[in-house]
């Protein structure tokens, strides 16, 4: 009280440090803040984002690991069917406006699924009698041919659209990524089982991967050529039927 009189204020007035806290809260009908709670500025700190290259790498690794792990542990036909879905979906989404990490994740899922199915197909064909597995082999090739046709049509549309990613960039990145995954699988097999097993896996995987890639690229390239030629014929027919190119059909030439 004596200290309050010395400071020139009434003894019943609150201390100066509490005045700015109690008066506004009492006027607004709110309880005073709890001093044990952290300050609001400390509750919302900005989260540090990874650099762009690490985001792309992380998205690619997640896509490859997830697709390879799933397709590797399925039987031959479900694994190939899932890979066909992944490849068709990735070909459709590759030309769209995606975030870099999402684009690489989609591409990694397609390539990882292709390598996983190639491993399963190589083991299945090796263990099956050639005279008994004809229907299975036809079903595997048919699934990939349908996926390749969808991919060729998607790439044809992307090539005709100026605001989409060019198909050559997607194919170049997919080829490099597939080669890298192939090398990693052979190297891991060498570290785990030795040189002979790595040579066997490399030979089987190379053979099955060649068959699967051909089943994809053949129909895809054919559909792409047909779509490109159809677009050119459509543009030529529209230009030939325009009023300015037809003689005597324009209003200026009418007498």
Distance CA 228, CA 63 (A): 31
User: CA 219 to CA 155: how far, in whole Å?
Assistant: 12
Distance CA 176, CA 183 (A): 11
Q: What is the pLDDT of residues 103-152, one digit of tens each?
A: 999 999 999 999 999 999 888 877 766 676 788 889 999 999 999 999 88
- Residue 201, CA distances (Å) to 53, 125, 142, 147 in order: 32, 13, 25, 26
What is the pTM for the complete model shown? 0.69
197 domain residue, yes or no: yes
Per-residue pLDDT at 233: 55
What domain count does the chain have? 1
The verdict on residue 245 lying in a domain is: no
pLDDT at residue number 154: 87
List the domain range (segments joined by +) for residue 118.
52-237
**246 inside domain:** no
User: pLDDT digits over 18-37, tens only?
Assistant: 444 444 444 445 555 555 65
Angle at 236 between CA 231 and CA 241, to 5 degrees: 125
Is 100 part of a structural domain of the chain?
A: yes
Residue 33 falls inside a structural domain: no
Question: Under the phi-then-psi rule, with left for phi > 0, alpha for psi from -120 to 50, and beta for the rest, what region is 248?
Answer: left
Note whether residue 178 is domain-resident.
Answer: yes
The model's pLDDT over 140-175, given as tens digits with 9 standing for 90+, comes to 999 999 999 998 888 888 888 878 888 888 889 999
Task: Establish if 249 belongs to a structural domain.
Answer: no
Q: pLDDT at position 150, please?
A: 92
Q: How many CB atoms are located within 10 Å of the residue 70 CB? A: 18
| pLDDT surpassing 60 at residue 69 | yes
Does 188 fall in a domain?
yes
């Amino acid at each position: 009280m004596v200290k309050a009189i010395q400071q020139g204020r009434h003894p019943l007035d609150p201390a100066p440090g509490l005045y700015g806290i109690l008066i506004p809260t009492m006027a607004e009908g709110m309880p005073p803040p709890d001093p044990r709670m952290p300050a609001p500025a400390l509750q919302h700190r900005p989260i540090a984002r990874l650099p762009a290259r690490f985001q792309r790498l992380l998205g690619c690794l997640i896509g490859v690991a997830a697709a390879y792990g799933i397709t590797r542990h399925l039987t031959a036909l479900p694994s190939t069917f899932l890979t066909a879905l992944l490849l068709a979906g990735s070909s459709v989404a590759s030309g769209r406006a995606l975030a870099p990490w999402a684009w690489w994740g989609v591409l990694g899922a397609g390539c990882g699924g292709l390598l996983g199915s190639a491993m399963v197909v190589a083991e299945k064909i090796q263990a099956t009698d050639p005279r008994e597995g004809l229907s299975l082999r036809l079903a595997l090739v048919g699934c990939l041919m349908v996926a390749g046709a969808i991919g060729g049509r998607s790439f044809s549309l992307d090539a005709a659209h100026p605001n989409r990613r060019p198909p050559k960039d997607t194919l170049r990145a997919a080829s490099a990524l597939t080669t890298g995954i192939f090398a990693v699988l052979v190297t891991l097999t060498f570290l785990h089982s030795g040189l002979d097993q790595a040579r066997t896996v490399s030979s089987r995987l190379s053979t099955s991967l060649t068959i699967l890639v051909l089943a994809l690229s053949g129909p895809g390239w054919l559909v792409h050529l047909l779509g490109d030629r159809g677009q050119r014929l459509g543009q030529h027919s529209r230009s030939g039927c325009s009023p300015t190119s037809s003689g005597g059909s324009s209003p200026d030439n009418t007498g």
